[in-house]
Amino acid sequence: MTDHLLEVRNLSVRFHTAQGFVNAVNDVSWHLDRGETLAILGESGSGKSVSSSAIMNLIDCPPGEITSGEILFDGQDLLQLDNEARRALNGKRIAMIFQDPMSHFNPVYTVGWQIEETVTAHGRPAAQARARALELVKRVGIPDPEGALNKYPHEFSGGQRQRLMIAMALALKPDILIADEPTTALDVTVQAEVLTLLHELQDETGMGLVLITHDLGVVADVADRLVVMEKGCIVETGRPHDIYHNAQHPYTRKLIAAAPGKGVMRQPDPSAAPILCVQGLQKSYGTFHALSGVTFDVRRGETLAVVGESGSGKSTIARLVLRLESSSGGKALWKGEDLLTKTPKEMSKVRREIQMVFQDPTQSLNPKMTVFQIISEAWAIHRDVLPKDKWRARVEELLDQVGLEAGHAERYPHQFSGGQRQRIAIARALALEPELIICDEAVSALDVSIQAQVIELLGKLRDDLGIAFIFIAHDLPVVRDFADRVLVMKSGEIVEDGSVEQIFEAPRKPYTKRLLAAGLDPDPAVQKQRRDARLAL
């Protein structure tokens, strides 16, 4: 008999795939007590979500198969219960919320209907459900709660949807809430609010919280205990503070070391000449101003970071400068000539000098072309750069430069991992020997350890080749380590502009302060101070 609220013992799950059986988790054991927050930390493919799916009976068999283990809750092994008994527990005793609340809400029913359903699904009368739904929506802080009940999921913002998702999960005051990457798709300020809400609700109800995440900052913010997973196995368990300062397993140490935001800050070189001068750049869609008059310079060899939350217009700058969209006004002077008024033919020449690396390498590489074709396409377009007989040698040289092997040239993008694909995308950008590379969230889709490697590669290229970067990102610690200067954007305008040191050490504007305060520090002790400071703000 166990005295834990929930205990997973020796759980192994495997999936049937094209490559045969793949073990998703191997002999995993952990437990959760009442009122406690357990974080399960892992990168993609670590199997961090699998044990929760097993708890919620969400693993489809086939292709999934639970090969061993037990899940003890209330003195019963959940895996021995029939589906009806499991269903009766779901939502009532154990509830779950997910990443990406948009797709996890049913798009064709109102949120009120969906929250009430949790109540009625377990046999409570409809009138009671309505009252409870209203109470919950009020509690999670949605404006106009009565009106909100009759709205559809698409009518809310991402942060509001996650709040509603939490309301729905907590409708029957469950003993356990499992949160699978609940804040991953959200802006930092919204993330901080949602985590605070979860914390408060836990204090009110005394529920146990299982928080699945890839983010050390989230762990530091809320976790009482931590389980670190790698490739389906638990490599380390303990208190976050102990693990952070005294990790035993090499993988945990690597993860902690990879967390950005601890390096030496760079100093901008004021003597370098500007190569790109953006003046009063504007973009509007109808009456909506995505960008309203933005002015800044990029100097030769300099890294300018553009940070801001979603909807701040930071990516619009890249799209306008590269003429992927037409601007509504302003200038972008590249070495004195306005890019925005160039004919397509003139623009084609400039494109050799300005290249771009996109957010998601899975999508930015044509899946039907080999790596050789992807990289050499640049020379097929700009015929005078390199004679055809030198292509292969140069591709191999570039692959070597970004840390891949020459033999990779004949492979297709899907044969590489996410980090390798981003290296290919970088090699493609380098093919034309540009003077400026615009990185649009170039590392935000990557796992932390991969992210660190790619940032290191970009830093090396900057030092070796003297390339300037516009580094568009929402992740402040990465920016702190990599950039020379920072532009902070909000609602299509520049809020603050300064050197990295000035922005991070002495922010002047309230918005910048709030943004920085909302960021999570991987060190639990530091994060505790930050949290208190933010709540006081």
Partner 1 sequence: MSEHVAATVRPHRKTVFGRFISMLWADKFAFFATTFLLLVVLCALIGPSLLEDVAGKQNLRARNAPPFVLDRGWVYFLGGDALGRPLFARIVVAAQNTMMVAAGAVALSITIGATLGLIAGYLGRWPSEIIMRFADVIMSFPSLLLAVIVLYILEPSVGNLIIVLAITRIPIYLRTTRAEVLEVRERMFVQAAQVMGASSGRIIFRHILPMIFPTLVTIATLDFAFVMLAESALSFLGIGIQPPEITWGLMVSQGRQYLTSAWWLAFWPGLIIILTTMSLNLLSSWMRTALDPTQRWRLEIGGKSND
Partner 2 sequence: MKNRIGQRAISSLISLFGLVILVFFLSRLTGDPSALFLPVDASESMRENFRELHGLNDPLLVQFGHYVGDLLRGDFGDSLRRARPALDVVLEAFVWTLQLAAITMTLVTIAAIVVGSIAAFKVGSLFDRAASLLSLIGASAPDFWIAIVAIVVFSLQLGWLPTSGTGTVWHWVLPITILFLRPFGLILQVVRGSMLTALGSAYVKTARAKGVKNNRLIFVHTLRNAMLPVITVIGDQAAALLNGAVIVETIFGFPGVGKLMIDAILQRDFNVILAAIMVTALAIFIMNLLIDLAYAILDPRIRT
Instruction: Please select the residue that binds partner 2; options are 42, 69, 91, 268, rule is CB under 8 A.
Output: 91
Q: Should residue 340 be labelled a site residue for partner 1 when binding is judged by CB under 8 A?
A: no
CA distance 439 to 461: 13
- Residues in 167-206 that interact with partner 2 by CB under 8 A: 168-169
Burial class (CB in 10 A: 0-12, 13-18, 19+), 188: buried
CA distance 45 to 67: 19
In this structure, how many other beta carbons lie within 10 angstroms of the beta carbon of residue 61?
Answer: 11
Instruction: Please select the residue that binds partner 1; options are 7, 297, 360, 493, rule is CB under 8 A.
Output: 360
For 90, which DSSP code?
A: B
Nearer to partner 2, 122 or 352 (CB): 122
CA distance 292 to 17: 50
Half-sphere exposure of 174 (CA within 13 A, CB side): 29
Q: Which of the stretches 54-62, 133-141, 400-408, 467-475 binds partner 2 when contact is defined by CB under 8 A?
A: 54-62
Nearer to partner 1, 7 or 65 (CB): 65
Q: Which of the stretches 277-285, 309-317, 386-394, 400-408 binds partner 1 when contact is defined by CB under 8 A?
A: 386-394
Count of H-run helices and E-run strands, the chain: 22, 20
Nearer to partner 1, 336 or 367 (CB): 367
Residue 292 tokens, joined: 């309203």
Q: Should residue 130 be labelled a site residue for partner 1 when binding is judged by CB under 8 A?
A: no
Non-local CB neighbours of 334 within 8 Å, separated by 6+ positions = 275, 276, 350, 353, 354
- CA 138 to chain centroid, in Å, comes to 28
Instruction: Please select the residue that binds partner 2; options are 37, 49, 90, 376, rule is CB under 8 A.
Output: 90
Q: Does residue 207 contact residue 175 with C-beta atoms inside 8 Å?
A: yes
- Residues in 105-164 that interact with partner 2 by CB under 8 A: 105-108, 110, 117-118, 121-122, 152, 154
In this structure, how many other beta carbons lie within 10 angstroms of the beta carbon of residue 401?
Answer: 17
Q: Should residue 332 be labelled a site residue for partner 2 when binding is judged by CB under 8 A?
A: no
Q: Should residue 384 be labelled a site residue for partner 1 when binding is judged by CB under 8 A?
A: no
Q: Nearest distance from residue 472's CB to partner 1, in Å?
A: 14
Residue 343 tokens, joined: 């004919």
Q: Nearest distance from residue 121's CB to partner 2, in Å?
A: 5
- CA 63 to chain centroid, in Å, comes to 28
Q: Should residue 320 be labelled a site residue for partner 1 when binding is judged by CB under 8 A?
A: no
Nearer to partner 2, 170 or 318 (CB): 170
User: Could you check whether the bond before residue 344 is cis, i.e. omega within 30 degrees of 0?
Assistant: no
Q: Should residue 95 be labelled a site residue for partner 2 when binding is judged by CB under 8 A?
A: yes
- The item of partner 1, partner 2, none sharing an interface with residue 106, based on CB under 5 to 8 Å by kind, is partner 2
- The item of partner 1, partner 2, none sharing an interface with residue 295, based on CB under 5 to 8 Å by kind, is none
Residue type for position 151 = K
- The item of partner 2, partner 1, none sharing an interface with residue 17, based on CB under 5 to 8 Å by kind, is partner 1
- The item of partner 1, partner 2, none sharing an interface with residue 389, based on CB under 5 to 8 Å by kind, is partner 1
Q: Which residue has the tokens 């509007």?
A: 284
Nearer to partner 1, 332 or 500 (CB): 332
Nearer to partner 2, 2 or 128 (CB): 128
CA distance 347 to 268: 29
Q: Nearest distance from residue 147's CB to partner 2, in Å?
A: 15
Q: Should residue 508 be labelled a site residue for partner 1 when binding is judged by CB under 8 A?
A: no
Nearer to partner 2, 87 or 514 (CB): 87
- The item of partner 1, partner 2, none sharing an interface with residue 57, based on CB under 5 to 8 Å by kind, is partner 2
Residues paired with residue 72 on neighbouring β-strands, in sequence order: 7, 77
- The item of partner 2, partner 1, none sharing an interface with residue 364, based on CB under 5 to 8 Å by kind, is partner 1
- Backbone torsions φ then ψ of 104, nearest 5 degrees: -90, -5
Q: Nearest distance from residue 294's CB to partner 2, in Å?
A: 31
DSSP3 helix / strand / coil % (the chain, rounded to 5): 40, 25, 35
Burial class (CB in 10 A: 0-12, 13-18, 19+), 88: middle
Instruction: Please select the residue that binds partner 1; options are 1, 18, 108, 264, rule is CB under 8 A.
Output: 18
Q: Does residue 69 contact residue 55 with C-beta atoms inside 8 Å?
A: no
Q: Should residue 286 be labelled a site residue for partner 2 when binding is judged by CB under 8 A?
A: no
For 266, which DSSP code?
A: P
Residue 490 tokens, joined: 């909000």
Instruction: Please select the residue that binds partner 1; options are 25, 78, 201, 432, rule is CB under 8 A.
Output: 432
Nearer to partner 1, 205 or 373 (CB): 373
CA distance 15 to 465: 46
Q: Should residue 439 be labelled a site residue for partner 1 when binding is judged by CB under 8 A?
A: no
Residue type for position 57 = N
Q: Nearest distance from residue 336's CB to partner 1, in Å?
A: 20
List of E strands, 344-492: 354-357, 436-440, 468-473, 485-490
Q: Should residue 58 be labelled a site residue for partner 2 when binding is judged by CB under 8 A?
A: yes
Residues that bind partner 2 (CB under 8 A): 56-58, 87-92, 95-96, 98, 100, 103-108, 110, 117-118, 121-122, 152, 154, 165, 168-169
Residues that bind partner 1 (CB under 8 A): 17-18, 322, 324, 347-349, 351-352, 354-356, 358-360, 363-368, 377-378, 381-382, 388-389, 392, 410, 414, 425, 428, 432
